Structure 1
Amino acid sequence: MRELTGATGYKRKLKPDAMPTIFPHKTSKVRPREASEMRMKKRDLDERLGALLSRPSSIASDESDLIPDEDLITTSPQTSTLHAAVSVATMCRPNMIDAATQTDSLTSDAAVQWPADVQEVVAIDHAYPVNLRDWGQEVDSGSLDLSPLEDDFSEDSQPLNRDSDPDYILGLSSSQSSQESHSTANDQESRVFLVFEEQLKQLLQRCLKCGSLIAQEDMRELQNEGSQFTVELTCANSCCYRWQSQPSLSKTKGKGNLLLAASIFFSGIHFAKFHRFCLNMNLQSICEDTYSTLRKRFVFPAVERTWAREQSAVLTSMQAQEAVVLCGDGRCDSPGHSAKYCTYTFLDVHSQKVVDFKVVSVTQVSSSNTMEIRGFKEALATIEENGVKVTTISTDRHPQIVKEMRVSHPEKHHEFDPWHVVKGVSKKLAAVARRKECEGLGEWIPSIVNHFWWSAQTCGGDAEVLIEKWVSVIHHVTNRHDWPGNRHYHSCAHDHLDDDSQRSKLWLQPGSEGHQALVTTVKDKRLLKDLEHLTKCIHTTSLEVYHSMYLKYLPKRTHFGYDVMVHASMLAALDHNNNANREQAVYQDGESVGEPKFKISWSKVHKRFRARPVAVPKGYGYMKTMMEDVMSAVSDTNLVTRESQRHVMAPQDRLPRSQIIAQARQFSRFNK
């Protein structure tokens, strides 16, 4: 009885065949075993991690089959390499028996231990700093801390694959400081990729500070960041920090936003088209207001500085020339007589580079018809103020410019562009040739145009020779190849034409309707007077090519503001000057190696195949310099943003918005 009741003073002895009793005796004063305490803490940790992993997460469910359980268990120090190259190992559960004894468990030598049933995917090719803790020490499972300490960064705590990410920096307090230090490197050499949101969040499943798990609902995305993806992350270990997908850049909400604004403008892409492109593929980008702000603040000044250097270099090279020949032409922003802007450009004939241009708004002059003459005056004055000696200017037959050259610049020789003159002659002949009685004249138009160019090129600077050669075409088309009465030119320059070498075109009958229409066009008084300005045959073909390329940056069907007109014109001039006088490309391999390249195409005008030389590809190295200038302008404290120049055509102040809308609704004929 004393044995059963556990009376005091009785010394109990354990029999050899005794079994553990179920009756409680006095409470043991000895603390629990260390192994039991560890099992309880381990069980509590398993419950916490299980509750965390049981939360809804599409990423974990999709990737749970990628890494099997056996790959997450490390059995020896020699095999402690995981798929993700992360220095995190797991420990298997110890085997338990009812007699409160423990078998030998398989433990890992790795520092951080995780349950074997954790199948959360670790981002591959990314290193996480972890804390080395011994599971045999006293650890409070309620406040498990995996954040790195100052003395914990030993060689064993470094990422297993140190060469996988050489730019990764340990010991930073926040991701922003890491991004700012990384942005000081060569930014233009950094590549930019298109990453989907689901793939990006896989890399954010573990804390960058301690390596613990981050639940989906603990990722809070910040809005209004443009193309930048910014999230606030909170891990299971209560580490809270902000992560950004782009290097930090002051005043821009991310470096990528500024790069987008500069690249769109430099490429000549209209923002509406780019915005539609982003919407079609659900690509996050900046809005139009942000684009306009960044463009005005950082992009426009960079374009101005680049164009100022280019223009200064062109003017310096022209100052050494004794006689400078310029060709100029104006371009309106829209077809017809309702243009708002006119850009007048001067091009150096010798270097084939743009010297200067002026953008004139209709609000600066009395009407749109006087914009071109004002741009001509301002651009010519700017060139002469820089010490350039202009002796000859070639333009079209604009009446106001003709008068300006005759009155204000009589010392300069004024030339007309032969292309503009012969274009007018061709149009007149084509209109006459449509008449039935002038049948046969249309076949002679290409030959007449070629004769005009030949006359201008071979006149030797003599206006009389040019006129006589040009008028001789009225005799040639009637099969008459010599004539008396002229002073310089008496017969055709070609060889004698016999019956076997007659052309396929029919000769015109003298005095016929077609021949009389040709004589009237060739001997037009204004045309013969204009031939005096064609003796040097200075054509503006390069300027017309420049205006064609100009449409890339400023299409006529789109309205732009004054600032955009000016700076886009600078871009067009930079594009032309940096790619002027390109050499003809040659074949680099194949049977035709070393031979020049030609493009064979069918000409609808000449009704035959034509071979056009192919130039070497364009170079855009200057744009890289401008991009670097834009990036450096962000940190420039002396940068001053100038006010935009507004050119409103309305002659009076605008009424209140509500009043204008009410009037539109009242007087609209479409209101029912």
Structure 2
Amino acid sequence: MTANINQLLEISMDEAVLDMATPNPPGEDIQETPEQQKVLCEEDLVGKSASITYNDHLHRLAMYLQLPMQMCNYSNRVTGATCPGKSPFQVTLKPRGTGVALEWFCPFGHRLWKWNSQPLLKFGMQGGDFMLSTNILLSGNNYRKIALLFQFMKMGMVAQSTFFKIQDTYCVDPIEKFWERNRADVLTRLRQKDRVVVLGDGRMDSPGHCAQYCTYTTLEQDSRDIVHIVTVDKRETDRNSVIMEKECFIRTMDVLLQEIPVKEVVTDAHPQITALLNPERGKYKAWGLQHSLDIWHAAKNLGKKL
């Protein structure tokens, strides 16, 4: 079958099919929304500056933002039908821990984009939640006090369960390793001295005779470096809170006397510890230790007697 060439339609250049790709005209490149920033290494989170941002101002800023798409990109997986939703899109703000999440929806309820005010770690944990939890512990603060401060400020706060989970999973072991490494360096330096003077004192978790824990801290006189820390539970002393500090002191001295040349011990006027350091009848009389009272406790004890 032949065709009349004169009757064929003329194909314009716009309809021609070329064997090379024609680039898109300037300004017509398809743009996509950027992905959420993720924490891949320590430098992506530690040392980064942060600010207090009010949710109303953040939501107002998001309302002025224009997404790179003008139509909803949702399509039905079964029928292949596309969503006819057009801009402007609705913006919602959802508080999440110490941060917020902004979401853009089309008029038919399809989510187009989600943006978080904080970088995300593995398993979706927010960077600010992680940094706040770790720094509460490292700075010696109390979770409930910080949570109360955030409540007064009407700011989002890390949940208490999340705080303790982060503490147990990420903080306890590294802190213990750092402490052991730092203590080993201090003991190595103190072993070179002929005479080491240590200062010790205990601290209960609550006043009175109802304390559950006692922490005894020992420092070196010249450098003020902490050389030993021990914590005793009341259950380890037959639930007798009165002898917890004595038990802490015994555990401390049993360790330090084997590690550094302790010649003098400075404590408060605790009668049980004074008895342990008695040069004639005390537990440590064979070591020839000199027992001294620090000037504040000595003055306080003298004032009581007067």
Q: TM-score with structure 1 length normalisation? A: 0.35
- Tell whether 2:284 aligns with 1:426: no
Q: Is the 8 A contact 1:390 1:412 kept in 2?
A: no
1:215 Cα deviation after fit: 4.4
Report the AA paired with residue 227 of structure 1: T
SS at 2:38's partner residue?
helix
- Tell whether 2:236 aligns with 1:377: no
Q: Is the 8 A contact 1:337 1:368 kept in 2?
A: yes
Report the AA paired with residue 417 of structure 1: L
Percent identity, aligned pairs only?
Answer: 25
Q: Which runs of 4+ in 1 moved over 6 A?
A: 170-173, 181-184, 236-239
Q: Is the 8 A contact 1:204 1:214 kept in 2?
A: no
Q: Is the 8 A contact 2:262 2:289 kept in 1?
A: no
1:345 Cα deviation after fit: 1.6
Q: What pairs up with 1:323-472 in 2 under 5 angstroms? A: 323-366=195-238, 367-385=240-258, 387-405=259-277, 406-419=282-295, 420-429=297-306
What is residue 201 of structure 1 aligned with on the other side?
Answer: 59
CA distance in 1, matches of 2:149, 2:69: 40
What is residue 105 of structure 2 aligned with on the other side?
Answer: 234
1:221 Cα deviation after fit: 4.7
| Residue deviations 1:328-354 (CA, integer Å, cap 9, x gap) | 222222222332221112111121221
Q: What pairs up with 1:143-542 in 2 under 5 angstroms? A: 152=24, 174-176=34-36, 179-180=37-38, 185-205=43-63, 206-210=65-69, 215=88, 218-221=90-93, 225-234=96-105, 240-251=112-123, 253-366=125-238, 367-385=240-258, 387-405=259-277, 406-419=282-295, 420-429=297-306
1:172 Cα deviation after fit: 6.3
Report the AA paired with residue 228 of structure 1: G
| Residue deviations 1:550-592 (CA, integer Å, cap 9, x gap) | xxxxxxxxxxxxxxxxxxxxxxxxxxxxxxxxxxxxxxxxxxx
1:267 Cα deviation after fit: 3.2
What is residue 97 of structure 1 aligned with on the other side?
Answer: none
What is residue 665 of structure 1 aligned with on the other side?
Answer: none
Q: Larger Rg: 1 or 2? A: 1
Relative distance call for 1:343 and 1:215 in structure 2 (3 A) is: same
Superposed CA RMSD in Å reads 3.4
SS at 1:327's partner residue?
strand
Relative distance call for 1:211 and 1:264 in structure 2 (3 A) is: farther
Q: Is the 8 A contact 1:214 1:234 kept in 2?
A: no
CA distance in 2, matches of 1:184, 1:423: 49
| Residue deviations 1:73-109 (CA, integer Å, cap 9, x gap) | xxxxxxxxxxxxxxxxxxxxxxxxxxxxxxxxxxxxx
Q: Is the 8 A contact 1:207 1:235 kept in 2?
A: no
Q: Is the 8 A contact 2:39 2:121 kept in 1?
A: no
Report the AA paired with residue 254 of structure 2: A
Q: Is the 8 A contact 1:344 1:372 kept in 2?
A: yes
Q: Is the 8 A contact 1:324 1:392 kept in 2?
A: yes
Q: Is the 8 A contact 2:195 2:261 kept in 1?
A: yes
CA distance in 2, matches of 1:369, 1:355: 24
Report the AA paired with residue 364 of structure 1: E
Q: What are the ranges of 5 or more consecutive residues in structure 2 without an aligned counterpart?
A: 1-13, 16-21, 72-85
Relative distance call for 1:203 and 1:337 in structure 2 (3 A) is: same
Relative distance call for 1:276 and 1:325 in structure 2 (3 A) is: closer
1:254 Cα deviation after fit: 0.8
Figure out how many residues of one structure are paired with residues of the other and give that number: 265
Report the AA paired with residue 156 of structure 2: Q
Relative distance call for 1:255 and 1:202 in structure 2 (3 A) is: same
| Residue deviations 1:275-319 (CA, integer Å, cap 9, x gap) | 232223321222222222222222333332332232222112112
SS at 2:283's partner residue?
helix
Report the AA paired with residue 188 of structure 1: V
SS at 1:375's partner residue?
helix
Report the AA paired with residue 91 of structure 2: M
